[in-house]
Structure 1
Protein backbone atom coordinates (compact mmCIF):
# COMPACT_ATOMS: atom_id res chain seq x y z
CA UNK A 1 0.00 0.00 0.00
CA UNK A 2 1.11 3.58 -0.56
CA UNK A 3 -0.17 7.13 -0.20
CA UNK A 4 0.13 7.99 -3.90
CA UNK A 5 -0.31 5.53 -6.76
CA UNK A 6 0.44 5.69 -10.48
CA UNK A 7 -0.53 3.13 -13.12
CA UNK A 8 0.61 3.68 -16.73
CA UNK A 9 -1.57 2.05 -19.38
CA UNK A 10 0.12 0.03 -22.10
CA UNK A 11 -2.75 0.34 -24.59
CA UNK A 12 -5.16 3.18 -23.66
CA UNK A 13 -7.19 2.56 -26.83
CA UNK A 14 -7.94 -0.64 -28.74
CA UNK A 15 -7.85 1.51 -31.88
CA UNK A 16 -4.12 2.19 -31.46
CA UNK A 17 -1.10 -0.06 -31.04
CA UNK A 18 0.19 -0.89 -27.54
CA UNK A 19 3.43 0.68 -26.42
CA UNK A 20 4.84 -2.79 -25.71
CA UNK A 21 3.00 -5.79 -27.25
CA UNK A 22 4.39 -8.10 -24.58
CA UNK A 23 3.57 -5.92 -21.56
CA UNK A 24 0.62 -6.10 -19.17
CA UNK A 25 -2.44 -3.88 -19.53
CA UNK A 26 -0.86 -1.41 -17.09
CA UNK A 27 2.35 -1.17 -15.12
CA UNK A 28 2.98 0.32 -11.69
CA UNK A 29 5.27 3.30 -11.62
CA UNK A 30 6.72 5.64 -9.02
CA UNK A 31 4.73 8.90 -9.19
CA UNK A 32 7.71 11.20 -8.66
CA UNK A 33 9.94 9.64 -11.32
CA UNK A 34 10.07 10.82 -14.95
CA UNK A 35 7.53 9.05 -17.18
CA UNK A 36 6.31 11.45 -19.87
CA UNK A 37 8.33 11.90 -23.05
CA UNK A 38 9.20 15.53 -23.67
CA UNK A 39 7.58 15.38 -27.13
CA UNK A 40 4.25 14.12 -25.79
CA UNK A 41 1.51 16.34 -27.22
CA UNK A 42 -0.25 16.39 -23.87
CA UNK A 43 2.72 18.23 -22.38
CA UNK A 44 3.60 20.58 -25.23
CA UNK A 45 0.11 21.36 -26.58
CA UNK A 46 -2.37 20.30 -23.92
CA UNK A 47 -3.70 17.82 -26.48
CA UNK A 48 -5.51 15.34 -24.30
CA UNK A 49 -8.40 14.71 -21.93
CA UNK A 50 -8.77 13.88 -18.26
CA UNK A 51 -11.21 13.05 -15.48
CA UNK A 52 -10.95 13.46 -11.71
CA UNK A 53 -12.90 10.83 -9.78
CA UNK A 54 -13.82 11.04 -6.11
CA UNK A 55 -12.71 7.99 -4.12
CA UNK A 56 -14.39 7.28 -0.77
CA UNK A 57 -13.03 4.48 1.44
CA UNK A 58 -11.29 3.00 -1.60
CA UNK A 59 -14.40 3.12 -3.80
CA UNK A 60 -14.37 5.25 -6.98
CA UNK A 61 -17.64 7.15 -7.15
CA UNK A 62 -19.75 7.80 -10.26
CA UNK A 63 -17.18 5.73 -12.15
CA UNK A 64 -19.34 4.91 -15.17
CA UNK A 65 -20.47 8.54 -15.76
CA UNK A 66 -16.83 9.64 -15.53
CA UNK A 67 -15.77 6.98 -18.04
CA UNK A 68 -18.60 7.95 -20.37
CA UNK A 69 -17.56 11.62 -20.25
CA UNK A 70 -13.92 10.57 -20.79
CA UNK A 71 -15.00 8.84 -24.01
CA UNK A 72 -17.09 11.85 -25.12
CA UNK A 73 -14.23 14.26 -24.52
CA UNK A 74 -11.84 12.03 -26.46
CA UNK A 75 -14.27 11.92 -29.39
CA UNK A 76 -14.52 15.73 -29.43
CA UNK A 77 -10.71 15.87 -29.80
CA UNK A 78 -10.67 13.08 -32.43
CA UNK A 79 -8.52 11.00 -30.09
CA UNK A 80 -8.57 7.20 -30.38
CA UNK A 81 -11.52 5.86 -28.38
CA UNK A 82 -10.42 4.98 -24.83
CA UNK A 83 -10.60 1.28 -23.98
CA UNK A 84 -13.15 1.61 -21.19
CA UNK A 85 -12.50 -1.88 -19.83
CA UNK A 86 -8.75 -1.22 -19.54
CA UNK A 87 -9.31 2.16 -17.90
CA UNK A 88 -11.86 0.75 -15.45
CA UNK A 89 -9.45 -2.04 -14.49
CA UNK A 90 -6.61 0.42 -13.93
CA UNK A 91 -8.77 2.82 -11.90
CA UNK A 92 -10.06 0.09 -9.62
CA UNK A 93 -6.55 -1.32 -9.16
CA UNK A 94 -5.11 2.10 -8.30
CA UNK A 95 -7.88 2.76 -5.77
CA UNK A 96 -7.32 -0.64 -4.16
CA UNK A 97 -3.59 -0.02 -3.87
CA UNK A 98 -3.92 3.39 -2.22
CA UNK A 99 -3.52 3.66 1.55
CA UNK A 100 -6.91 3.50 3.31
CA UNK A 101 -8.23 7.06 3.63
CA UNK A 102 -11.80 8.31 3.79
CA UNK A 103 -11.50 10.72 0.84
CA UNK A 104 -9.12 10.49 -2.09
CA UNK A 105 -9.19 11.08 -5.83
CA UNK A 106 -8.14 9.23 -8.96
CA UNK A 107 -7.15 11.19 -12.06
CA UNK A 108 -7.27 9.60 -15.51
CA UNK A 109 -5.27 11.25 -18.31
CA UNK A 110 -5.06 10.31 -21.98
CA UNK A 111 -2.98 12.34 -24.44
CA UNK A 112 -2.41 12.00 -28.17
CA UNK A 113 1.08 10.77 -27.35
CA UNK A 114 4.25 11.60 -29.24
CA UNK A 115 3.44 13.21 -32.58
CA UNK A 116 3.47 10.66 -35.38
CA UNK A 117 3.64 7.63 -33.08
CA UNK A 118 -0.04 6.72 -33.39
CA UNK A 119 -0.02 5.58 -29.75
CA UNK A 120 -1.83 7.63 -27.10
CA UNK A 121 -0.37 7.96 -23.63
CA UNK A 122 -2.51 7.08 -20.65
CA UNK A 123 -2.18 6.91 -16.89
CA UNK A 124 -4.20 6.85 -13.67
CA UNK A 125 -2.89 8.66 -10.59
CA UNK A 126 -4.48 8.53 -7.15
CA UNK A 127 -3.77 10.37 -3.91
CA UNK A 128 -5.59 11.47 -0.74
CA UNK A 129 -7.76 14.57 -1.10
CA UNK A 130 -6.99 17.74 0.79
CA UNK A 131 -9.23 18.85 3.62
CA UNK A 132 -12.38 20.37 2.10
CA UNK A 133 -14.27 20.91 5.35
CA UNK A 134 -13.89 24.71 5.42
CA UNK A 135 -15.29 25.14 1.90
CA UNK A 136 -18.19 22.83 2.68
CA UNK A 137 -19.13 24.34 6.03
CA UNK A 138 -18.13 28.02 5.74
CA UNK A 139 -18.72 28.53 2.04
CA UNK A 140 -16.65 30.11 -0.71
CA UNK A 141 -16.46 33.58 -2.23
CA UNK A 142 -16.75 33.85 -6.01
CA UNK A 143 -16.43 36.56 -8.62
CA UNK A 144 -17.96 36.61 -12.08
CA UNK A 145 -15.60 36.84 -15.06
CA UNK A 146 -16.37 37.28 -18.75
CA UNK A 147 -15.35 34.14 -20.64
CA UNK A 148 -15.10 35.99 -23.95
CA UNK A 149 -17.57 33.78 -25.86
CA UNK A 150 -21.29 33.93 -26.55
CA UNK A 151 -23.44 31.30 -24.84
CA UNK A 152 -24.03 29.50 -28.18
CA UNK A 153 -20.32 28.99 -28.89
CA UNK A 154 -20.59 25.18 -28.68
CA UNK A 155 -22.96 25.26 -31.67
CA UNK A 156 -21.32 28.03 -33.68
CA UNK A 157 -17.65 27.12 -33.05
CA UNK A 158 -17.26 23.44 -32.06
CA UNK A 159 -13.50 23.61 -32.74
CA UNK A 160 -13.14 25.66 -29.55
CA UNK A 161 -13.94 22.41 -27.67
CA UNK A 162 -16.24 24.02 -25.14
CA UNK A 163 -17.86 21.19 -23.18
CA UNK A 164 -14.87 18.83 -23.49
CA UNK A 165 -12.71 18.10 -20.44
CA UNK A 166 -9.34 18.76 -22.02
CA UNK A 167 -5.86 19.26 -20.57
CA UNK A 168 -5.89 22.86 -21.86
CA UNK A 169 -6.64 24.45 -18.49
CA UNK A 170 -4.34 27.47 -18.70
CA UNK A 171 -7.31 29.86 -19.08
CA UNK A 172 -9.14 28.25 -16.16
CA UNK A 173 -6.08 28.59 -13.94
CA UNK A 174 -5.58 32.20 -15.03
CA UNK A 175 -9.21 32.91 -14.09
CA UNK A 176 -8.68 31.26 -10.71
CA UNK A 177 -5.63 33.45 -10.07
CA UNK A 178 -7.64 36.52 -11.07
CA UNK A 179 -10.34 35.50 -8.61
CA UNK A 180 -7.74 35.19 -5.88
CA UNK A 181 -6.36 38.64 -6.77
CA UNK A 182 -9.88 39.95 -6.20
CA UNK A 183 -10.06 38.29 -2.79
CA UNK A 184 -12.27 35.37 -3.86
CA UNK A 185 -11.87 31.59 -3.83
CA UNK A 186 -13.17 30.86 -7.32
CA UNK A 187 -14.55 32.42 -10.47
CA UNK A 188 -17.86 31.91 -12.21
CA UNK A 189 -17.71 32.39 -15.97
CA UNK A 190 -20.31 34.50 -17.78
CA UNK A 191 -20.83 34.60 -21.55
CA UNK A 192 -20.37 37.83 -23.48
CA UNK A 193 -24.14 37.97 -23.99
CA UNK A 194 -24.85 37.76 -20.27
CA UNK A 195 -25.51 34.11 -19.42
CA UNK A 196 -23.99 32.39 -16.41
CA UNK A 197 -21.89 29.35 -17.39
CA UNK A 198 -19.71 27.42 -14.91
CA UNK A 199 -16.86 27.76 -12.45
CA UNK A 200 -13.20 27.26 -13.28
CA UNK A 201 -13.48 23.63 -12.16
CA UNK A 202 -17.08 23.29 -11.01
CA UNK A 203 -20.74 23.45 -12.00
CA UNK A 204 -23.27 25.87 -10.56
CA UNK A 205 -26.52 24.80 -8.91
CA UNK A 206 -29.01 27.34 -7.60
CA UNK A 207 -31.95 26.95 -5.21
CA UNK A 208 -34.83 28.89 -6.77
CA UNK A 209 -38.29 28.87 -5.18
CA UNK A 210 -37.91 25.29 -3.95
CA UNK A 211 -36.30 24.02 -7.17
CA UNK A 212 -32.71 23.18 -8.09
CA UNK A 213 -31.60 24.94 -11.28
CA UNK A 214 -28.33 24.60 -13.22
CA UNK A 215 -27.20 26.24 -16.50
CA UNK A 216 -28.06 24.24 -19.60
CA UNK A 217 -25.30 21.91 -20.75
CA UNK A 218 -25.64 22.86 -24.45
CA UNK A 219 -24.11 26.32 -23.96
CA UNK A 220 -20.43 25.42 -24.02
CA UNK A 221 -20.04 24.12 -20.47
CA UNK A 222 -18.96 20.76 -19.14
CA UNK A 223 -21.79 18.46 -18.11
CA UNK A 224 -21.00 17.75 -14.45
CA UNK A 225 -21.07 14.25 -12.96
CA UNK A 226 -21.37 15.68 -9.44
CA UNK A 227 -24.13 18.05 -10.57
CA UNK A 228 -26.01 15.13 -12.13
CA UNK A 229 -25.83 13.24 -8.85
CA UNK A 230 -27.05 16.29 -6.92
CA UNK A 231 -30.07 16.38 -9.22
CA UNK A 232 -30.57 12.68 -8.51
CA UNK A 233 -30.46 13.48 -4.78
CA UNK A 234 -32.95 16.32 -5.27
CA UNK A 235 -35.38 14.18 -7.21
CA UNK A 236 -35.24 11.56 -4.45
CA UNK A 237 -36.16 14.30 -1.99
CA UNK A 238 -39.07 15.50 -4.11
CA UNK A 239 -37.23 18.66 -5.21
CA UNK A 240 -37.89 19.67 -8.82
CA UNK A 241 -34.81 20.13 -11.03
CA UNK A 242 -34.27 22.12 -14.20
CA UNK A 243 -31.62 22.97 -16.81
CA UNK A 244 -32.12 26.59 -17.87
CA UNK A 245 -30.49 29.64 -19.38
CA UNK A 246 -29.35 31.58 -16.31
CA UNK A 247 -28.77 35.34 -16.34
CA UNK A 248 -26.88 37.42 -13.81
CA UNK A 249 -30.25 38.67 -12.57
CA UNK A 250 -31.31 35.05 -12.00
CA UNK A 251 -28.09 34.44 -10.11
CA UNK A 252 -28.70 37.46 -7.90
CA UNK A 253 -32.31 36.42 -7.20
CA UNK A 254 -31.51 32.79 -6.28
CA UNK A 255 -32.17 31.64 -2.71
CA UNK A 256 -28.85 29.77 -2.43
CA UNK A 257 -25.90 28.85 -4.64
CA UNK A 258 -23.45 25.95 -4.74
CA UNK A 259 -20.39 25.13 -6.82
CA UNK A 260 -20.17 21.38 -7.35
CA UNK A 261 -17.11 19.35 -8.29
CA UNK A 262 -15.26 16.15 -7.59
CA UNK A 263 -13.02 16.34 -4.50
CA UNK A 264 -14.64 19.52 -3.10
CA UNK A 265 -18.19 18.18 -3.63
CA UNK A 266 -20.84 20.82 -2.77
CA UNK A 267 -19.45 24.18 -1.65
CA UNK A 268 -22.05 26.79 -0.71
CA UNK A 269 -21.39 30.27 -2.10
CA UNK A 270 -21.17 32.87 0.67
CA UNK A 271 -20.60 35.90 -1.58
CA UNK A 272 -20.67 36.93 -5.24
CA UNK A 273 -18.55 39.91 -6.32
CA UNK A 274 -18.23 40.93 -2.69
CA UNK A 275 -21.98 40.82 -1.97
CA UNK A 276 -22.89 38.44 0.86
CA UNK A 277 -25.25 35.62 -0.08
CA UNK A 278 -27.48 33.48 2.11
CA UNK A 279 -26.27 29.90 2.49
CA UNK A 280 -28.38 26.82 3.16
CA UNK A 281 -25.88 24.93 5.30
CA UNK A 282 -28.38 22.27 6.38
CA UNK A 283 -29.09 21.40 2.74
CA UNK A 284 -25.37 21.54 1.98
CA UNK A 285 -24.71 18.92 4.66
CA UNK A 286 -27.45 16.68 3.28
CA UNK A 287 -26.09 17.01 -0.24
CA UNK A 288 -22.53 16.21 0.81
CA UNK A 289 -23.65 13.25 2.92
CA UNK A 290 -25.37 11.91 -0.19
CA UNK A 291 -22.38 12.57 -2.46
CA UNK A 292 -19.92 10.90 -0.11
CA UNK A 293 -22.08 7.79 0.19
CA UNK A 294 -22.61 7.18 -3.54
CA UNK A 295 -22.05 3.80 -5.10
CA UNK A 296 -20.40 3.34 -8.48
Structure 2
Protein backbone atom coordinates (compact mmCIF):
# COMPACT_ATOMS: atom_id res chain seq x y z
CA UNK A 1 0.00 0.00 0.00
CA UNK A 2 1.47 3.32 -1.12
CA UNK A 3 -0.51 6.57 -1.29
CA UNK A 4 0.42 10.21 -1.78
CA UNK A 5 -2.03 12.64 -0.19
CA UNK A 6 -4.65 9.91 -0.04
CA UNK A 7 -4.37 8.83 -3.70
CA UNK A 8 -2.38 6.14 -5.52
CA UNK A 9 1.08 7.57 -6.08
CA UNK A 10 2.23 8.27 -9.65
CA UNK A 11 5.62 7.37 -11.06
CA UNK A 12 6.67 10.98 -11.64
CA UNK A 13 6.26 11.80 -7.94
CA UNK A 14 8.29 8.78 -6.87
CA UNK A 15 11.00 9.71 -9.36
CA UNK A 16 11.23 13.15 -7.78
CA UNK A 17 11.54 11.58 -4.33
CA UNK A 18 14.23 9.17 -5.55
CA UNK A 19 16.25 11.60 -7.65
CA UNK A 20 16.12 14.68 -5.40
CA UNK A 21 16.02 12.86 -2.06
CA UNK A 22 14.92 15.81 0.09
CA UNK A 23 12.35 15.17 2.80
CA UNK A 24 11.72 13.70 6.20
CA UNK A 25 9.70 10.84 7.68
CA UNK A 26 8.60 8.86 10.67
CA UNK A 27 7.79 5.15 10.95
CA UNK A 28 5.15 4.04 13.40
CA UNK A 29 4.36 0.48 14.42
CA UNK A 30 0.63 -0.22 14.54
CA UNK A 31 -0.69 -3.14 16.59
CA UNK A 32 -4.45 -3.66 16.74
CA UNK A 33 -4.95 -0.08 15.48
CA UNK A 34 -2.84 1.33 18.33
CA UNK A 35 0.47 3.17 18.12
CA UNK A 36 2.95 3.53 20.97
CA UNK A 37 3.99 7.19 21.08
CA UNK A 38 1.52 8.32 18.39
CA UNK A 39 1.54 11.88 19.75
CA UNK A 40 5.35 11.92 19.67
CA UNK A 41 5.38 10.71 16.05
CA UNK A 42 3.02 13.51 15.04
CA UNK A 43 5.04 16.10 16.98
CA UNK A 44 8.19 14.89 15.17
CA UNK A 45 6.56 15.32 11.76
CA UNK A 46 5.31 18.81 12.60
CA UNK A 47 8.70 19.87 14.04
CA UNK A 48 10.73 18.43 11.18
CA UNK A 49 8.47 19.88 8.48
CA UNK A 50 9.12 23.34 9.90
CA UNK A 51 12.88 22.73 9.80
CA UNK A 52 13.02 21.04 6.38
CA UNK A 53 10.36 23.02 4.49
CA UNK A 54 9.50 26.00 6.70
CA UNK A 55 5.87 24.87 6.56
CA UNK A 56 3.25 24.09 9.20
CA UNK A 57 2.12 20.48 8.87
CA UNK A 58 -1.35 19.55 10.11
CA UNK A 59 -1.24 16.46 12.36
CA UNK A 60 -4.93 15.88 11.61
CA UNK A 61 -4.08 15.70 7.90
CA UNK A 62 -1.38 13.13 8.64
CA UNK A 63 -3.77 11.02 10.72
CA UNK A 64 -6.42 11.12 8.02
CA UNK A 65 -3.99 9.73 5.45
CA UNK A 66 -2.61 7.05 7.78
CA UNK A 67 -6.11 5.92 8.77
CA UNK A 68 -7.11 5.74 5.12
CA UNK A 69 -4.08 3.60 4.28
CA UNK A 70 -4.57 1.30 7.28
CA UNK A 71 -8.27 0.93 6.41
CA UNK A 72 -9.22 -0.62 9.73
CA UNK A 73 -6.84 -3.59 9.43
CA UNK A 74 -5.98 -4.94 12.88
CA UNK A 75 -2.83 -6.86 11.98
CA UNK A 76 0.60 -5.65 13.09
CA UNK A 77 2.14 -3.29 10.53
CA UNK A 78 4.52 -0.39 10.12
CA UNK A 79 3.26 2.81 8.53
CA UNK A 80 5.97 5.07 7.18
CA UNK A 81 4.92 8.67 6.67
CA UNK A 82 7.28 10.51 4.33
CA UNK A 83 6.90 14.26 3.82
CA UNK A 84 8.38 15.56 0.57
CA UNK A 85 7.58 18.10 -2.15
CA UNK A 86 6.78 16.39 -5.49
CA UNK A 87 7.41 19.70 -7.26
CA UNK A 88 10.75 20.53 -5.66
CA UNK A 89 13.44 21.78 -8.04
CA UNK A 90 16.92 20.60 -7.07
CA UNK A 91 18.32 23.93 -8.21
CA UNK A 92 15.83 25.96 -6.15
CA UNK A 93 15.16 24.11 -2.87
CA UNK A 94 14.48 27.44 -1.14
CA UNK A 95 11.38 28.08 -3.25
CA UNK A 96 8.18 27.57 -1.30
CA UNK A 97 6.33 24.43 -2.32
CA UNK A 98 3.61 22.20 -0.98
CA UNK A 99 4.96 19.15 0.87
CA UNK A 100 2.93 16.02 0.23
CA UNK A 101 2.32 13.11 2.57
CA UNK A 102 3.39 9.70 1.30
CA UNK A 103 2.11 6.75 3.36
CA UNK A 104 3.51 3.27 2.86
CA UNK A 105 2.40 0.17 4.76
CA UNK A 106 4.37 -3.00 5.40
CA UNK A 107 4.03 -5.96 7.75
CA UNK A 108 5.68 -5.83 11.17
CA UNK A 109 7.63 -8.67 12.74
CA UNK A 110 7.45 -9.96 16.30
CA UNK A 111 9.06 -7.89 19.04
CA UNK A 112 11.63 -8.01 20.37
CA UNK A 113 13.65 -9.64 17.57
CA UNK A 114 16.75 -11.74 18.35
CA UNK A 115 19.82 -10.03 19.85
CA UNK A 116 21.87 -7.77 17.63
CA UNK A 117 25.60 -7.98 16.87
CA UNK A 118 27.06 -4.55 16.13
CA UNK A 119 30.34 -3.26 14.74
CA UNK A 120 31.67 0.14 15.87
CA UNK A 121 31.87 2.49 12.87
CA UNK A 122 33.00 6.11 12.89
CA UNK A 123 30.16 8.23 11.50
CA UNK A 124 28.13 11.32 12.43
CA UNK A 125 24.84 12.04 10.67
CA UNK A 126 23.89 15.28 8.92
CA UNK A 127 21.27 17.29 10.82
CA UNK A 128 20.84 14.51 13.37
CA UNK A 129 17.86 16.13 15.13
CA UNK A 130 15.73 15.54 12.00
CA UNK A 131 14.58 12.12 10.82
CA UNK A 132 15.38 12.92 7.22
CA UNK A 133 15.50 10.62 4.22
CA UNK A 134 19.24 11.13 3.63
CA UNK A 135 20.29 7.65 4.74
CA UNK A 136 23.34 7.07 2.53
CA UNK A 137 25.91 7.49 5.31
CA UNK A 138 23.97 5.35 7.77
CA UNK A 139 23.37 2.57 5.24
CA UNK A 140 26.99 2.67 4.11
CA UNK A 141 27.98 2.21 7.76
CA UNK A 142 25.55 -0.69 8.05
CA UNK A 143 27.07 -2.25 4.92
CA UNK A 144 30.58 -1.91 6.37
CA UNK A 145 29.42 -3.57 9.58
CA UNK A 146 27.77 -6.45 7.76
CA UNK A 147 30.85 -7.02 5.62
CA UNK A 148 32.76 -7.32 8.91
CA UNK A 149 30.37 -10.07 10.05
CA UNK A 150 28.02 -8.01 12.26
CA UNK A 151 24.31 -7.22 11.85
CA UNK A 152 24.52 -3.45 12.05
CA UNK A 153 26.71 -0.46 12.86
CA UNK A 154 27.18 1.32 16.17
CA UNK A 155 28.26 4.86 15.39
CA UNK A 156 30.86 6.85 17.28
CA UNK A 157 32.68 10.14 16.82
CA UNK A 158 36.34 10.61 15.93
CA UNK A 159 37.18 10.70 19.64
CA UNK A 160 35.35 7.46 20.36
CA UNK A 161 32.11 8.81 21.86
CA UNK A 162 29.06 6.65 21.11
CA UNK A 163 26.05 8.26 19.44
CA UNK A 164 23.48 5.87 17.91
CA UNK A 165 22.97 2.96 15.55
CA UNK A 166 22.16 2.69 11.88
CA UNK A 167 18.44 3.37 12.32
CA UNK A 168 18.04 3.12 16.07
CA UNK A 169 18.96 4.69 19.38
CA UNK A 170 21.23 2.83 21.76
CA UNK A 171 21.18 2.48 25.53
CA UNK A 172 23.48 0.83 28.03
CA UNK A 173 23.16 -0.67 31.48
CA UNK A 174 26.09 0.60 33.52
CA UNK A 175 26.39 0.17 37.29
CA UNK A 176 22.72 -0.78 37.49
CA UNK A 177 21.54 2.35 35.66
CA UNK A 178 20.05 2.87 32.22
CA UNK A 179 22.49 5.19 30.45
CA UNK A 180 21.78 6.95 27.15
CA UNK A 181 24.64 8.52 25.20
CA UNK A 182 24.84 12.29 25.33
CA UNK A 183 25.58 13.10 21.69
CA UNK A 184 24.02 14.56 18.56
CA UNK A 185 21.45 11.83 17.92
CA UNK A 186 17.98 11.52 16.49
CA UNK A 187 15.49 11.98 19.35
CA UNK A 188 13.78 8.60 19.02
CA UNK A 189 10.16 8.00 19.99
CA UNK A 190 10.82 4.64 21.65
CA UNK A 191 13.75 6.13 23.57
CA UNK A 192 11.49 8.95 24.80
CA UNK A 193 8.82 6.49 25.93
CA UNK A 194 11.36 4.42 27.86
CA UNK A 195 12.77 7.53 29.52
CA UNK A 196 9.30 8.21 30.90
CA UNK A 197 9.29 4.84 32.69
CA UNK A 198 9.96 4.39 36.39
CA UNK A 199 13.54 3.22 35.89
CA UNK A 200 16.44 5.53 36.66
CA UNK A 201 17.77 7.01 33.43
CA UNK A 202 21.00 8.94 32.96
CA UNK A 203 22.11 10.86 29.86
CA UNK A 204 25.85 11.36 29.62
CA UNK A 205 28.76 10.75 27.23
CA UNK A 206 29.58 7.06 26.75
CA UNK A 207 32.94 6.07 25.31
CA UNK A 208 33.47 3.06 23.09
CA UNK A 209 35.60 1.42 25.78
CA UNK A 210 32.84 1.98 28.34
CA UNK A 211 30.24 0.57 25.94
CA UNK A 212 32.26 -2.61 25.57
CA UNK A 213 32.45 -2.91 29.37
CA UNK A 214 28.69 -2.42 29.89
CA UNK A 215 26.60 -4.95 31.77
CA UNK A 216 24.19 -4.93 28.82
CA UNK A 217 23.26 -2.84 25.80
CA UNK A 218 20.16 -2.48 23.66
CA UNK A 219 18.80 -0.86 20.51
CA UNK A 220 15.45 0.89 20.33
CA UNK A 221 13.10 2.03 17.60
CA UNK A 222 9.42 1.75 16.81
CA UNK A 223 9.80 -1.40 14.73
CA UNK A 224 11.99 -3.47 17.04
CA UNK A 225 10.97 -2.10 20.44
CA UNK A 226 13.80 -2.88 22.86
CA UNK A 227 16.31 -5.23 21.22
CA UNK A 228 19.25 -6.67 23.12
CA UNK A 229 22.76 -6.13 21.76
CA UNK A 230 24.81 -9.27 22.35
CA UNK A 231 28.11 -8.28 20.69
CA UNK A 232 29.98 -4.98 20.24
CA UNK A 233 32.93 -5.56 17.94
CA UNK A 234 34.50 -8.69 19.41
CA UNK A 235 33.10 -8.17 22.92
CA UNK A 236 30.15 -10.28 24.06
CA UNK A 237 27.47 -8.77 26.32
CA UNK A 238 24.66 -10.31 28.35
CA UNK A 239 21.47 -10.45 26.30
CA UNK A 240 19.25 -11.43 29.25
CA UNK A 241 20.12 -8.86 31.91
CA UNK A 242 17.21 -8.44 34.41
CA UNK A 243 17.00 -4.68 33.89
CA UNK A 244 16.95 -5.18 30.14
CA UNK A 245 14.02 -7.59 30.51
CA UNK A 246 12.22 -5.00 32.64
CA UNK A 247 12.63 -2.40 29.89
CA UNK A 248 11.30 -4.82 27.29
CA UNK A 249 8.31 -5.66 29.49
CA UNK A 250 7.62 -1.98 30.19
CA UNK A 251 7.58 -1.22 26.47
CA UNK A 252 5.29 -4.13 25.65
CA UNK A 253 2.94 -3.15 28.48
CA UNK A 254 2.35 0.23 26.80
CA UNK A 255 -0.95 -0.26 24.95
CA UNK A 256 -0.36 2.79 22.79
CA UNK A 257 -2.78 5.40 21.52
CA UNK A 258 -5.72 4.53 19.30
CA UNK A 259 -5.06 5.56 15.72
**Fold shared by both chains (TM-score > 0.5):** yes
Correspondence list, 1:1-296, <5 A: 5-9=1-5, 26-27=6-7, 29=8, 34-37=10-13, 40=16, 42-98=17-73, 100-101=74-75, 103-115=76-88, 118-132=97-111, 134-135=113-114, 139-147=115-123, 149=124, 160-216=126-182, 219-233=183-197, 235=198, 239-280=199-240, 282-294=242-254, 295-296=256-257
Mapped to 2, the partners of 1:104 and 1:226 lie a distance apart of 16
Relative to the length of structure 1, the TM-score reads: 0.77
Unaligned runs of 5+ in 2: 90-95
Q: Unmatched 5+ residue regions in structure 1?
A: 10-25, 154-159
Q: CA deviation at 1:220?
A: 2.2
- For residues 59 and 35 of structure 1, the distance between their equivalents in structure 2, rounded to whole angstroms, comes to 31
- Partner SS, residue 124 of structure 1: strand
Measured after TM superposition, the shift of residue 163 of structure 1 is: 1.9
Task: Identify if the C-alpha distance between structure 1 residues 95 and 286 changes in structure 2 by more than 3 Å, giving closer, same or farther.
Answer: farther
Query: TM-score normalized by structure 2?
Result: 0.87
Computed over aligned residues only, the root mean square deviation of the Cα atoms, in angstroms, reads: 2.2
Q: Is the 8 A contact 2:53 2:99 kept in 1?
A: no
Structure 2 contact 214–237 (Cα < 8 Å) conserved: no
Deviations 1:105-151 (A, max 9, x none): 1110011321258222212222211345542xxx110010011x5xx
Aligned CA distance change for structure 1 residues 93 and 115 (closer, same or farther; 3 Å): closer
Deviation at 1:174, TM superposition (A): 1.1
The aligned length equals 250
